[in-house]
Chains A and B, each alone.
Chain A
Amino acid sequence: MEKSVNAIIPGLCARVVVNEGDKVSAGQEVAVINCMKTEISVTSEWNGTVKSVLSKEWDELEVGTPMVMLVVDGD
C-alpha cells in the first residue's frame, strides 16, 4: 500500500532528507519544514520504501501537503 508523509504545519520546505528507493522506518525523519524560524522535523509513521519525493526546498506547504510517497512494508 502507498502512503504519503504529509506536512504537519504550514511553512516552507527546508529539505527532504530521503531519496527515491531509500528504506525508511517508522519514526525516521524524512523531511524538514521551516516555520516560526525553527526547523520542524517530519517523520514517517510507517516502515517502507520511498517511491517518490514530492517536495523541494522553498515549496510552500499547508498542513496535509504530501511531501514523500512511500510503499509501506508488509502489503
Chain B
Amino acid sequence: MLKVINGGIETLVEDWPGRLGYLGKGMAPSGAFDNVGLGFANLLVGNPAGEAGLEVTGGFFQGEFLTDSVIAVTGTDMKPSINGSPIPMWESVAVKKGDVIAFSHIGEFGFRCYLGIAGGIDLPPYLGSKSTCIFGSYGGFDGRKLQPGDEVKFAAPRGKLKDLVGRKLKKEAIPEYSREWVLRAIPGTNTSPDYATEEGMDYLFSHTFRIQHTSNRSAYRLEELPEGFFARLDGGVGGSHPSNILDHAYAMRGALNICGNTPVLLIADGPTLGGYMCALSVINADLWKVGQGTPGRDFIRFRVCSQDEAVQARLDRKNLFTEDALV
C-alpha cells in the first residue's frame, strides 16, 4: 500500500490499453498516456506490460509505502528519491515499509513518469479497465487524481520480491526522448482534395508544430494552420467554418481534429465524436510520444506512414516488453 502525502500536479492510476469498446457510448479509452513508459515500468517489476501503475504528470508526487514492495520508475527524469536519496530510473528498486518516495519537477525531456509496482494496483476494473478518465470522473482511484491521504493498495507480486529487485533495462532499450516528437500518421479521413488543399496537407506533414500550454489528457492543441489550408470556403450544412462537417465518429486515439484553424490531437480522454474534420490519424505505436510532449515547450512533427508500416510498428511495440529488453 502507498499512502499519498502530496498528489503532485496530476497523478493518476492508468493501465493499457485502457477502456476499449465503449466509444459508441461516448466513453474515451483513457489509458496510460505513454504506454511504453508504463510497459517498461511493469516489465521491470515482473508485471504484465498493461498492468495499472501510477502516471505522474508534471511532478511533485510524494507518498509513503505502508508495505515492503519493489518499484520501478520510467519516463521523464523527475529526480525520484527514496527518503531523500536518489534512486535509479529504468531499474527495479526494493522499498521498505515507511519509505517515502518523492518526485521533483519534469526533466529536460518528457512530461510524464510512471511508477510501476510489483503486482500492480489493486483496484476493481471499471468496464474492463483500471484507468482513470478524469474528464468523466470514472475509473481508477475514485475517478480522480490522487490526493493527500489516499491509500493505494497493491496486488500480490508475481514472484518473490527479492527476485524482482535489480532488474534493469538495457541502455539501447530505453526510448529516445526529444523536444521535437516525430509522429507517424496516416492521412484522412478528411483530406485533400475535398477538405484540405494539397499545399495544406504538405504543410501539415512538413511543419514543426509547437504544443500549446492548454494541452492535456483530452487533447493536445498545436499552433494554428496558415491560410490556404482549407479546400472549402465554409462547412456547408456542417457549419460556417471550413473545418466544420456533419458530426461523425472520431478515430480515437490519435485523430487530428481541425478545430477552426487549430489542429488538435485527440488522445487518451478525448471526445469520441463531433463536427470537425480530421486530417490525419497518428499510428497507435507512436501515441506514447504524445504523452511525453511537454505543453508550452515541445514540438510535434508528422511523418506520412503506410498502413503496413503502422501494423508492423504496432507489432514491434508489443514485442518491446520481454525479458530480452533487460540486462
Residues of A participating in the B interface, judged by any CB pair closer than 8 Å: 8-12, 34-38, 40, 60-63
- Do A63 and B106 have beta carbons less than 8 Å apart? yes
- Do A9 and B216 have beta carbons less than 8 Å apart? no
Contact of A36 among B105, B106, B216, B297 (CB under 8 A): B216
- Do B297 and A35 have beta carbons less than 8 Å apart? no
Contacts of A40 in B (CB 8 A): 9, 58
- Do A35 and B296 have beta carbons less than 8 Å apart? yes
- Do B60 and A10 have beta carbons less than 8 Å apart? no
Q: Is B85 an interface residue (CB 8 A)?
A: no
- Do B213 and A10 have beta carbons less than 8 Å apart? yes
- Some 27 contacts from A to B, beta carbons below 8 A apart, are A8-B9, A8-B58, A8-B59, A8-B105, A9-B58, A9-B105, A10-B296, A11-B295, A12-B296, A35-B58, A35-B295, A35-B296, A36-B10, A36-B213, A36-B214, A36-B215, A36-B217, A36-B295, A37-B214, A37-B216, A38-B9, A38-B216, A40-B58, A60-B213, A60-B296, A62-B297, A63-B105
Contacts of A36 in B (CB 8 A): 10, 57-58, 213-217, 295
1/0 contact string of B205-240 vs chain A (CB within 8 Å): 000000001111100000000000000000000000
- Do A9 and B9 have beta carbons less than 8 Å apart? yes
Total B residues in contact with A, Cβ cutoff 8 Å: 17
Given A36-B10, A40-B58, A63-B105, A11:B296 Cβ within 8 A: yes
With A9-B105, A60-B213, A63-B106 already in contact, 7 other A-B pairs whose C-beta atoms are closer than 8 Å: A8-B105, A9-B9, A9-B59, A9-B106, A10-B295, A11-B296, A36-B213
Q: Report Cα–Cα, A11/B296, bound state, in Å.
A: 6
Q: Is B294 an interface residue (CB 8 A)?
A: yes
- Do B216 and A34 have beta carbons less than 8 Å apart? no
Contacts of A62 in B (CB 8 A): 297
- B115 vs chain A, min Cβ distance (A): 19
Q: Report Cα–Cα, A22/B36, bound state, in Å.
A: 46
Contacts of B10 in A (CB 8 A): 36, 38
Q: Report Cα–Cα, A34/B96, bound state, in Å.
A: 37
Contacts of B59 in A (CB 8 A): 8-9
- B8 vs chain A, min Cβ distance (A): 10
- Top 9 A-B pairs, shortest CB-CB distance: A10-B296, A36-B216, A10-B297, A11-B213, A9-B58, A63-B105, A37-B214, A35-B213, A11-B296
Contacts of B57 in A (CB 8 A): 36
Given A36-B215, A37-B216, A8:B296 Cβ within 8 A: no
Interface members, chain B 180-224 (any A CB < 8 Å) = 213-217
- Do A10 and B294 have beta carbons less than 8 Å apart? yes
Contacts of B60 in A (CB 8 A): 8
- Which of B57, B59, B295 has the largest count of A CB atoms less than 10 A from its CB? B295
Contacts of A60 in B (CB 8 A): 213, 296
- A58 vs chain B, min Cβ distance (A): 11
Contacts of B296 in A (CB 8 A): 10-12, 35, 60-61
- A43 vs chain B, min Cβ distance (A): 10
- B183 vs chain A, min Cβ distance (A): 19
- A38 vs chain B, min Cβ distance (A): 7
- A4 vs chain B, min Cβ distance (A): 15
Q: Report Cα–Cα, A23/B295, bound state, in Å.
A: 33
Contacts of A61 in B (CB 8 A): 296
1/0 contact string of B41-82 vs chain A (CB within 8 Å): 000000000000000011110000000000000000000000
